[in-house]
Amino acid sequence: MITVILGTGPGLGAALVRQFTGQGHTVVAMARRKDFLDSLCEEEAKKGGKIIGVPCDASKPESIKDAFAQIPKSDKVGCLIYNASAPFRPASILDTTPEEMEAAWKATCLGALVASQAILPGMVAQGYGTILFTGATASIRGSAKMSALAVPKFGVRALAQSIAREFGPQGIHASHILVDGVIDTEKTRQYLGDKPIPQDSLLSPSAMAQVYWQLYAQDRSVWTQELDIRPFVEKF
């Protein structure tokens, strides 16, 4: 079985790769950074994980189409995980240029449409398949200075619901994961510096990846279309 993951940077993306190869899936890992893709492939090669690295720029529909054309035809695609999003910095509405908003929307939301369109016909033909979308608190709440994250993320949620409602009865499971909190990555820890980090107060990427796997593996009589995940100490 093939799982396609678009957005496999360090952190959640890499953990998803490990989770799904660990379960025997062939992972087609897509990301912009070729060097990080290479290191992921090397890591998997060492432990016998099946992985194919494909460079892809989620903000460009053509790049997504090219990347999806490289998915091997020899096996079925059971799962697509859309984990890409534009880089984001909080900014006033007045400091968010239309160009920035558009770029954010393309990488986060339009790319999710293009990737879904590339994968759905095959899933429909085989009668099953799972598409998982990484969301955020900003998917359901437009906070001050967060518009360039919230606008695209709200959009992805709309898309996930539309796909779930149109394709669910054809056996396609679309699910949206509301990630609330900060993911525990090297970058996060560098950023937090000497600040004490209570145990389990950051989202563990491998624990997150397990949740994604459980959604993929759900019996189709009990599909989850949306769930939230957050550290036990997270205010919400």
Sites for its own copies among residues 72-131 (CB under 8 A): 92-94, 96, 98, 101-102, 105-106, 109-110, 113-114, 116-117, 120-121
One residue of 15, 146, 185, 216 binding its own copies per CB under 8 A: 146
> Closest distance between its own copies and the C-beta of residue 227, in Å?
4
Which residue, 48 or 127, has its beta carbon nearer to its own copies?
127
Burial of 127 (0-12, 13-18, 19+ CB in 10 A): exposed
One residue of 43, 52, 141, 188 binding its own copies per CB under 8 A: 141
One residue of 158, 187, 191, 197 binding its own copies per CB under 8 A: 158
Binding of residue 192 to its own copies (CB under 8 A): no
> Closest distance between its own copies and the C-beta of residue 45, in Å?
28
The three-class DSSP label of residue 125 is helix
Backbone angles phi, psi at 181, to 5 degrees: 135, -170
Which residue, 36 or 204, has its beta carbon nearer to its own copies?
204
**Segment 209-228, which members bind its own copies (CB under 8 A)?**
210-211, 214, 218-228
Which residue, 42 or 166, has its beta carbon nearer to its own copies?
166
| Closest C-alpha among 58, 76, 77, 75 to residue 66 | 58
Size of the site for its own copies (CB under 8 A): 76
Burial of 60 (0-12, 13-18, 19+ CB in 10 A): middle
CB 167 within 8 A of CB 124: yes
Which residue, 87 or 169, has its beta carbon nearer to its own copies?
169
Structure tokens at 201: 């107060």
> Closest distance between its own copies and the C-beta of residue 159, in Å?
6
> Closest distance between its own copies and the C-beta of residue 220, in Å?
4
Cα separations in angstroms, 126 against 76, 121, 222, 235? 8, 9, 20, 42
CB 63 within 8 A of CB 115: no
| DSSP per-residue string spanning 7-62 | ---TTHHHHHHHHHHHTTPEEEEEES-HHHHHHHHHHHHHHT--EEEEE--TT-HH
Binding of residue 52 to its own copies (CB under 8 A): no
